Amino acid sequence: MEIKFVENKNPKTMPAEDTLGFGKYFTDHMLMMDYTPDKGWHDLRIVPFENLSIHPACTALHYGSEIFEGLKAYRRADGEVQLFRPIENIRRMNNSAERLCLPEIPEDLALFALTEFVKCEKDKWTPHKKGTSLYLRPFMFGNDESLGVHAVKHATYVIIASPVGSYYKEGINPVKIMIESDDVRAVRGGTGYAKCGGNYAASNRAGKKAEDKGYSQVLWLDGVERKYIEEVGAMNVMFKIAGKIVTPKLTGSILPGITRKSCIEVLKKAGYVVEERLLSVDELGEALKNGTLEEAWGCGTAAVVSPIGELCYKDVKYTINGGKIGEVTQKLYDTLTGIQWGEIKDEFGWTVVVK
């Protein structure tokens, strides 16, 4: 498919790299593509970043027919810019599209669109400072101009980009997490494994409650029995218990994280036993009490790895590893970011250089 390019005649200024934060600034352009039943995906274009114009009856506004992804482009020391496992994001987005009855994008077309967009923005907008990157947000929404409830017939695909620093203000320092016992994020058979906006909107109330109590995020329990650990905030979660790594298994209500997958592969290669299984809050509580919970961390694209220094359950607080980052957590962060920024040889074949 050919790609059209319209240059932004009013380019922005790249902010100072130590002021980036997360998702506050946006690049000069965005990529767009449309879907209709008669043409399929068509009109691939890179255009100036601007507001979208949509019909008031747009399907996404009324019925939540929207999905998104998140990945990063990294500036290596030699100046080249590379992506981290982009095909995994493309495949996950198609899984999300299938769940919400949105049109899937052929993998080769999705990868072509992504790399062409990064080529356009990378020189100016990919920051150089350690710990920074160019965050890429592909998203798709149904835009049928009708109030009927049905599978989407018309859709729009967009990629926007934002130069970013750390997701959490704490950076790689341990965060405090509250175990949520009332609200749930998702249920099996629902959309928990899809990356769609409704999952995140439903999590905001508990997140706000935790924030008001001084916590960074919540640790979710399953939506059926309210006893099994699922995710931490918008990330997957892992624990080191008595020398083994334990992470909740993918039951359909948990997002299959690409960073989670990468952590498991790195840990197994390093010789750790990794158990993907059901982990109850009671088992976790017992490990907290008897001292066998040695480390805990969240993992996801935005923060990469975020150590957990304190857990609170029903107003009882537990400190993990003295409130300090653990050895395994630090090693994971160093390994993954080392590969992403090109400081460590990529022995897994995960990175894609964009030229």
At 78-128, the pLDDT tens digits run 999 999 999 999 999 999 999 999 999 999 999 999 999 999 999 999 999
- Report the distance separating Cα 107 and Cα 91, nearest Å: 7
Rounded Cα distance, 80 and 60, in Å: 37
Does residue 168 register a pLDDT over 80? no
pLDDT for the residue 171: 61
Are residues 179 and 236 located together in one domain of the fold? yes
Q: Tell me whether residue 351 is in a domain.
A: no
State pLDDT tens for residues 259-315.
999 999 999 999 999 999 999 999 999 999 999 999 999 999 988 999 999 999 888
Percent of residues, the chain, with pLDDT higher than 90: 95
Helix (H, G, I), strand (E, B) or coil at 318: strand
Residue that terminates a domain, selected from 143, 165, 187:
165
Question: Residue 136 has what pLDDT?
Answer: 98
Q: Does the residue 331 lie in any domain?
A: yes
Which structural domain, as residue segments, surrounds residue 157?
4-165
Q: Is residue 24 part of a domain?
A: yes
SS3 259: helix
- What pLDDT does residue 33 have? 98
Judge contact between 162 and 297, C-beta under 8 A: no
Please indicate, yes or no, if residue 55 is contained in any of the structural domains.
yes
Kindly state whether residue 297 falls inside one of the protein's structural domains: yes
Kindly list the distances between the CA atom of residue 201 and the CA atoms of 69, 184, 197, 209, in Å, as whole numbers in the listed order: 16, 12, 6, 14
Same domain? 215 vs 279: yes
Residue 11 lies in a domain: yes
Domain end position, chosen among 165, 187, 211? 165
pTM, rounded to two decimals: 0.95
Residues 42 and 105 occupy one common structural domain: yes
Q: In one letter, which amino acid is 322?
A: G
228 Rama class: left (phi>0) / alpha (psi -120 to 50) / beta: beta
Do 51 and 111 have their domain in common? Answer: yes
Q: CA nearest 283: which of 224, 227, 223?
A: 227
In a domain, 352, yes or no: no
Asked if 149 and 201 sit in the same domain, the reply is no
My answer on whether 324 and 186 are in the same domain is: yes
Q: What is the pLDDT of residues 187-206, one digit of tens each?
A: 999 999 999 999 999 999 99
Q: Let me know whether 196 and 81 are in one domain.
A: no
Each residue's pLDDT tens digit, 317-336:
999 999 999 999 999 999 99
Number of domains in the chain: 2
For the segment 230-243, the average pLDDT, to the nearest whole number, is 97
Domain containing residue 139: CATH number: 3.30.470.10
Residue 142 lies in a domain: yes
Q: How confident is the model at residue 352 (pLDDT cuts 50, 70, 90)?
A: very high
Q: Are residues 135 and 192 in the same domain?
A: no
Tokens (6 digits) for 166: 């750390």
pLDDT in tens, 26-38: 999 999 999 999 9
Residues 57 and 187 both lie in one domain:
no
CATH code, domain with 197: 3.20.10.10
Tell which of 104, 135, 165 closes a domain.
Answer: 165
CA angle 302, 304, 305 (to 5 degrees): 130
pLDDT averaged over the chain? 96
Q: Are residues 13 and 98 in the same domain?
A: yes
Same-domain status, 194 and 306: yes
Give yes or no for residue 170 having a pLDDT over 60: no
Q: Are residues 215 and 304 in the same domain?
A: yes
